[in-house]
């Protein structure tokens, strides 16, 4: 593994040490899954993305995602981080309008949004959204996530949402209740593993940030991550839920901002575009990123 190039990228932020940090290995050719897992464990970030040559004619790269403990099928903020590294450090944004990734859950294109010859943000198109009900009693769920049943915003249903991973989406009345949530992580981990749920995502429309529609927090103990600061996959699933459950007007497109990470001291913002011009809504999630560390892995095994 000697000489492997590694980047540390803060996604969904324009400020270093904000947003959600991800590892990116832009040239992972020659690494096997065991070695990728070791690198992800060494970096000790919520996810690390590994890029290799894709065998698909539809994609530029294959991208694989590892937490410190296991491989996962999709990660939004690491996808943003990988696209940002390619667009800036490898100048791909000066050559192409987008980069296309082959993931375990399908093809994910990411547009480069360039202003004045500089990469301003990236915008990924997630796979088709879907929702389904969950059988767990609400009394149990609120105990697992550490809020009161009176904190639940009953205007909106509790659902599982998907744009690559299944996320438990729980509507909450106030930002204060979201911030004060204190989940019982062992119980939440067991529950989510049993139901094949990636993360538990609390959301509220009580968002004081400028131009912000929703404020969220995300817990992922099933993947060894107590709390993830700013989550592209979960917020993509949430955005699909808004349309599929009729919470947002299904007759028009939507463009809004989601705030997350503030309770962790890593504030971040996601830009969401929902296109409803056909039978299947298209969910696009994007933002900016900051590369904070670039280096080479020197150790060998």
DSSP state, 277? S
Give the pLDDT confidence score for residue 141 in this predicted structure: 98
Q: List CB contacts of 40: < 8 A, sequence separation 6 or more.
A: 23, 47, 48, 66, 67, 68
Domain spans of the chain, in order of start: 4-125+287-297, 130-280
pTM to 2 decimals? 0.95
Distance CA 256, CA 183 (A): 28
Evaluated on CA atoms 24, 27, 29, 35, the torsion sign reads negative
Fold of domain 130-280: Diaminopimelate Epimerase; Chain A, domain 1 (3.10.310)
Give the pLDDT confidence score for residue 1 in this predicted structure: 62
DSSP-derived pairing of the beta strands 166-171 and 199-204: parallel
Q: What residue ranges in 85-165 does DSSP mark as E strands?
A: 98-103, 106-115, 118-125, 130-132, 159-162
The series of mean pLDDT values per 10 residues for the chain, 301 residues long, is 89 97 96 96 96 96 96 97 98 97 97 95 97 97 98 98 97 98 98 97 93 96 94 98 97 96 96 90 97 89 57
Choose the catalytic residue: 42, 47, 209, 245.
47
CA angle 86/76/110 to nearest 5° reads 45
Cα 205 to the chain's mean position, in Å? Answer: 19
**3-state DSSP call for residue 266?**
coil
Give the pLDDT confidence score for residue 67 in this predicted structure: 95
Give the pLDDT confidence score for residue 210 in this predicted structure: 80
Q: Which ranges in the chain belong to alpha helices (H)?
A: 33-43, 76-88, 138-145, 175-180, 185-194, 232-244
Asked if 47 is an active-site residue, the reply is yes
**3-state DSSP call for residue 93?**
helix
Distance CA 167, CA 160 (A): 5
Domains 4-125+287-297 and 130-280 share a fold: yes
4-125+287-297: which CATH number, 3.30.1120.10, 3.40.50.1970, 3.10.310.10, 3.20.20.70? 3.10.310.10
């Amino acid at each position: 593994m000697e000489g492997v190039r590694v980047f540390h990228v803060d996604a969904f932020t324009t400020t270093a040490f904000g947003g959600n940090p991800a590892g990116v290995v832009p040239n992972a050719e020659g690494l096997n899954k065991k070695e990728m897992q070791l690198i992800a464990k060494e970096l000790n970030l919520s996810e690390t993305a590994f890029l290799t040559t894709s065998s698909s004619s539809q994609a530029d790269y294959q991208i694989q995602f590892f937490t410190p403990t296991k491989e996962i099928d999709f990660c939004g903020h690491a996808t943003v981080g990988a696209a940002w590294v390619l667009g800036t450090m490898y100048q791909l944004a000066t050559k192409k309008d987008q980069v296309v990734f082959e993931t375990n859950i399908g093809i994910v294109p990411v547009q480069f949004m360039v202003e004045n010859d500089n990469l301003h943000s990236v915008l990924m198109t997630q796979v088709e959204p879907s929702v389904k009900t969950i059988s767990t009693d609400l009394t149990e769920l609120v105990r697992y996530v550490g809020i009161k049943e009176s904190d639940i915003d009953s205007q909106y249903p509790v659902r599982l949402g998907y744009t690559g991973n299944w996320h438990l989406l729980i509507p909450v009345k106030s930002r204060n209740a979201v911030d004060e949530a204190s989940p019982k992580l062992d119980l939440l981990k067991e529950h989510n593993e049993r139901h094949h749920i990636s993360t538990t995502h609390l959301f509220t429309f009580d968002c004081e940030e400028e131009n912000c529609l929703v404020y969220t927090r995300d817990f992922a103990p099933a993947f060894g991550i107590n709390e993830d600061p700013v989550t592209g996959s979960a917020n993509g699933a949430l955005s699909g839920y808004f349309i599929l459950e009729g919470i947002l007007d299904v007759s028009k497109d939507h463009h809004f901002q989601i705030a997350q990470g503030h309770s962790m001291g890593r504030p971040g913002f996601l830009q969401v575009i929902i296109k409803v011009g056909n039978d299947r809504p298209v969910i696009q999630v994007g933002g900016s990123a900051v590369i904070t560390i670039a280096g080479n892995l020197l150790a060998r095994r």
